[in-house]
Amino acid sequence: MKKRPREPKPLHPALASITGPAIIKFLASCNATVRSQSLRLLQSWLAAEPPQLSDSDIKKVWKGLFYCLWHADKTPNQVALIDRYTSLFLSLKPSLQLEFFRGFLVTLRREWPGIDRLRLDKFYLLIRRFVKALFAVFRLRKWELRVLEGYFGVLESDGFLAEDKLRGNGVNYHVVSVFLEELKGVGFPMRKEVVDVVLGPFFTVMMRSQDRILLGKVKSYVFDELVKAGKEMLEKKRMGVEEKDGDVLLGTVSLRMGLSGMFYQVGSSVDCVQGNRKVVLGLHDDFLKLEKELELSGVEIVVPEYSDVVSGGDYEVVPQLIPIDSYTSNGNVESSVGEDDDKRISKKSKKAKKGINGDDKKRKKKKRRDENGVCENKSVVVENGDFVNVNCTENFQSLSDDLENDGNVSALNETVLLNLRKQFEKVVAEANSDSDDDLDFPNAPLISISRGKRKRTKEITNRNGDGGVDDAAKSVKRVRFSMKNNLVWKPQNPLPPESLRLPPSVTPRGSALKKGVPPGPL
C-alpha cells in the first residue's frame, strides 16, 4: 500500500505576513522550520520579477544565507542545504547572478576569520559547489566571452587581488585548489580565447600578487598540474594508451595553447613583481620544454570537440540528498532514509558501543601479550637517518617466509639488516669500550631479536684481561638521584640585613651513591 505524499507544512506564524527583504533576518533563526521556510520564500521572491537590489541588499541576503548554513548540523542536512543554495544561484535572472556571485565572495571573505574548525568543512564544501555551479552557468550561456570576462573579473577584483582589508585569504586558497578539478569534470571548448580568459586571473596573480601563499597555491594546484597532465599525455600517446576526457583537456591546454609564450610575456612585463619573476620564468621553461618534446616526438595532438554533456571520469558524484522540507511535529528534520539504511545505522551504533565497552578488554589483551614477550609494533627501522616504527610481527613473518623459500639471508630487507648491524656494533662498542682489540665484523648480515625489556647491568673488566670482576664493580648499584630531595635549604647564618632580600643557602644532604662519603662541591 503506497503512502500518501506528505502535505506541505503550513507557514510558521512568524512568517505568515512577511514578504520582501524582511525574510532575510529569519534565515538565521535557531528554529530549523523557520530557516527552511524562509529560504523557500526568499527563493520565490528572488526568482520572480527581478527586484532592484542594491549592493548592500545582496550582502544582507548572503549574511542571512551564511548563518543559515552556520546553524545546520549533520552532514546530510548540510549537503542538502548547500545544493539548495546552488539551485537558487542557477535559478536567478542573468542580470542578478553576477551580483549574487560577488556577494558570495565578499561575504565569505568577511566572515572567514570567525569560522571555527568544527564548521570549516561545510564552508569548504560550499566553495567547491559554487565553483561547480559557476561552470554550469558558463555551460548554459554557451561559454560566451562577455559572460566569462564578467565573472572572472569579479573573481580577480573581489577575490584574488581584492584591495579591501578583509582577512579571508583562505577563501582564495580553496578556490584555487578546487578550480582545475571542477573544470576538468565539466569540460570547456578548446579555443585559445576561452583558455586565455579562464586562466587570466591566475596569470594576473603570478604577475601582481604580493601573497606568497596564494602564489604557491596557483603554481602547485594549477600550472604544475597542467605540466603534469602534458607529460602524462605525451607518454600515453607514445605507448598508445587511451586517456580520460578530463586528462585529455588539461593535456591539450598545456601542449597546444602556447602557455610558454604567455609566461614569457608575464615575466618580462614591467608590472610583474620582482619576487615573482623567478617562479614565472621557471614555469616558462617547463612549458617550453613540453612544447619542444611534442615537436620532437612527432605525436599529433587533436583538439577534442566540446559537448554539453558532463563527462563521468573522476568527477565527484553528488550523494543522495535528504530533503529538508519534511519536519516532524516537534520541528526536527525527518530524514527519508529507508529501512535498510536504518538497519545499517543501528548496526554502526551497536559497533560503536561495543568498541567503547571493549577498550578495557583490548588493553588487558595487549598487556598480556607484552608480558608473554610478543613483539607488537616495537621494531624501529632507520630510513634516511630517521627512525620509523615498523610492525615487527609482519616483518618476522615475511622473514621466515623468505628463509623457507630461498634459504638465504640476503633475501631480507636491507634496511632492517642495516639497522640490526648498527645496533649490534653499538652494543659491542659500549661493552668493550676499554678494550684495545679491534673488532672484525663478518660481511654476512647479523640478526638479533630482542624478547622485550630487560635490565642492563654494566660489568667492569679487569685491566689484566682475565675476565674477572673487581670488588668495586660488585658494589656499584644504580641510584636514582633527585635534586629536589637531596638538597637542604637553610637560612643564612648570620642573618643578612632586612634591606637585603637574599634567598636561603642550599647544601646537599650527602653523596647520592653511598652514605658516609662527604659531599662534593655544589
- Spell out the domain ranges in the chain: 13-297, 339-369, 379-475
The CA distance from 14 to 31, in Å, is 11
Average pLDDT over residues 212-228: 96
In a 3-state reduction of DSSP, which class is residue 162?
A: coil
What pLDDT is attached to residue 2?
A: 59
- Comparing 21-25, 232-236, 417-421, the range with the smallest average pLDDT is 417-421
| CA distance to 201, 232, 260, 282, 436, per residue, from 263 (Å) | 13, 21, 5, 9, 67
**Is the separation of the CB atoms in 86 and 97 below 8 Å?**
no
What pLDDT is attached to residue 86?
A: 95
Q: 489: pLDDT confidence band, cut at 50, 70 and 90?
A: confident
pTM of the model: 0.60
Bridge partners of residue 487, in order along the sequence: 508
**Length of the chain (residues):** 522
Average pLDDT over residues 427-438: 59
Average pLDDT over residues 446-457: 48
Q: 10: pLDDT confidence band, cut at 50, 70 and 90?
A: confident
**Is the separation of the CB atoms in 15 and 26 below 8 Å?**
yes
Q: 325: pLDDT confidence band, cut at 50, 70 and 90?
A: very low
| CA distance to 109, 273, 445, per residue, from 391 (Å) | 46, 51, 21
- Comparing 72-86, 95-109, 187-201, 235-249, the range with the smallest average pLDDT is 235-249
**Is the separation of the CB atoms in 80 and 323 below 8 Å?**
yes
Within 8 A by CB and 6+ apart from 81, the residues are: 68, 69, 72, 324
The CA distance from 344 to 116, in Å, is 31
What pLDDT is attached to residue 306?
A: 77
Average pLDDT over residues 403-409: 44
Task: Measure the N-to-C terminal CA separation of the chain; round to a whole number of Å.
Answer: 92
Max mean pLDDT range (92-101, 383-392, 408-417): 92-101
Q: 53: pLDDT confidence band, cut at 50, 70 and 90?
A: confident
221 pLDDT more than 80 = yes
235-244 own/partner pairs: CB under 8 Å, 24+ apart: 237/297, 237/299, 237/301, 238/297, 238/299, 244/311, 244/313, 244/314
What pLDDT is attached to residue 67?
A: 95
Q: State percent of the chain over pLDDT 90.
A: 43
Q: What is the DSSP letter of 119?
A: S
DSSP strand pairing (505-508 vs 487-490): antiparallel
150 pLDDT more than 90 = yes
Max mean pLDDT range (200-204, 238-242, 395-399, 457-461): 200-204
Q: Please give the residue that has the higher pLDDT: either 394 or 231.
A: 231
In a 3-state reduction of DSSP, which class is residue 206?
A: helix
23 pLDDT more than 80 = yes
**Is the separation of the CB atoms in 128 and 161 below 8 Å?**
no
318 pLDDT more than 60 = no
Could you tell me which of 55, 125, 128, 47 has the C-alpha nearest to residue 90? 47
Q: What is the DSSP letter of 53?
A: -
Q: What is the DSSP letter of 307?
A: -
Exposed (0-12), middle (13-18) or buried (19+): which is 494, by Cβ within 10 Å? exposed
Q: 368: pLDDT confidence band, cut at 50, 70 and 90?
A: low
Average pLDDT over residues 113-127: 95
The CA distance from 197 to 189, in Å, is 12
The CA distance from 287 to 493, in Å, is 82
Within 8 A by CB and 6+ apart from 111, the residues are: 63, 66, 168
